[in-house]
Amino acid sequence: MKDISIEFIEYKVPDLLNPGQYLTIKGKLKLPKKNCKKRDCRNKKFPAVVILHGSAGIDFRGEFYAQALNQSDVATLEIDMWAPRGGARPQLPILTFPDAFGALAYLTFHVPSIDSQKIGVLGFSWGGVMSLAFADIAYTNQFGQGLKFAAHVANYPVCYAFNNTTVPSLPSPFDRGTQLLHLTGSPVLIQVGSEDDYDNGVENCVSLKQTLSGSDQQLVRVKGYEGAYHAWDRLLPEEIIFDPFANEGSYFSTGEIPPVVIEPNVKQAYESRRRVTRFFVEHLK
């Protein structure tokens, strides 16, 4: 096992619900120890991955992937987006976009051992929506202040919501944070289970990729996991939750909140972790 240093950091981001006010975002930064001769170490920089949790907040998944990335000499910064908002998720993903771009800026300007051109983003569910949306150049232009993520992994990112104008009672796809039209040029890996109760399978993610231009499609990989439910890599006891965004947003037409099965799959969780680690090593190192 490689030595890893751990720091707990914080930074401020604009509160989009309260213009002129700021939220304090806290996170766990894990840095691989430099294993090199003293002269070589002066210029050695690490790639990094920002980790974005799902609706339940920080849980097993972030650390599960961070451990594998750290052992591959990739730094990680997992941030807590719910604590500054009273412990609950906000109404729309776009409200948390400043949190992630703030993490990107923190790594770029405040951590000298990080290669600012090699910072990726990994998200789960809500965080997966964010990671996928950040591949759209419009959000990078709006929130990035000249910075962009170099690679994106979106685990079960509710693909049906992207570019979807048919869901009633919601803002436009762009205004809610679910637009994917023109990519930044960074590679994207989408992972989703065949039994996912948000997208009801893999097809919505495949179809979303197919709506992109030919050159943008070349940047996107969709990996389906047969038999896997939403959050298959959350290696905690099975549970059932209820979410208005599940079942392709049926709540907004029926008024009934659909159930979501959260069922772990150990084999597929480790397969997913290996694939994600290889993806970031390929594109960031």
CATH number, residue 59? 3.40.50.1820
Contact 94, 16 (CB under 8 A): yes
Residue 92 lies in a domain: yes
Contact 81, 52 (CB under 8 A): yes
pLDDT in tens, 137-187: 999 999 999 999 999 999 999 999 999 999 888 899 999 999 999 999 999
Provide the residue range defining the domain that includes 168. Answer: 4-236+265-284
**Token duo for residue 34:** 């430099």
Number of domains in the chain: 1
Contact 235, 264 (CB under 8 A): yes
Residue 143 lies in a domain: yes
DSSP-assigned states of every residue in 197-248: TTTTSSHHHHHHHHTS-HHHHTTEEEEEETT--BTTT--S--EEEE-TT-GG
Residue 269 lies in a domain: yes
Residue 255 lies in a domain: no
- Which candidate, 143, 147, 145, places its Cα nearest to that of 116? 147
Residue 248 lies in a domain: no
pTM passes above 0.75 = yes
Per DSSP, the chain holds a count of helices (H) and strands (E) of 10, 10
- Which stretch of DSSP H or E encloses residue 118? strand 114-124
Task: Give the SS3 label for residue 124.
Answer: strand
pLDDT in tens, the chain (285 residues): 789 999 999 999 999 999 999 999 999 999 998 766 655 666 789 999 999 999 999 999 999 999 999 999 999 999 999 999 999 899 999 999 999 999 999 999 999 999 999 999 999 999 999 999 999 999 999 999 999 999 999 999 999 999 999 988 889 999 999 999 999 999 999 999 999 999 999 999 999 999 999 999 999 999 999 999 999 999 999 999 999 999 999 999 999 999 999 999 999 999 999 999 999 999 998
- Which candidate, 50, 98, 59, places its Cα nearest to that of 78? 50
- Which candidate, 197, 79, 182, 77, places its Cα nearest to that of 137? 182
* Residues counted in the chain: 285
Residue 244 lies in a domain: no
CA 70 – CA 80 distance, rounded (Å): 19
Contact 152, 120 (CB under 8 A): yes
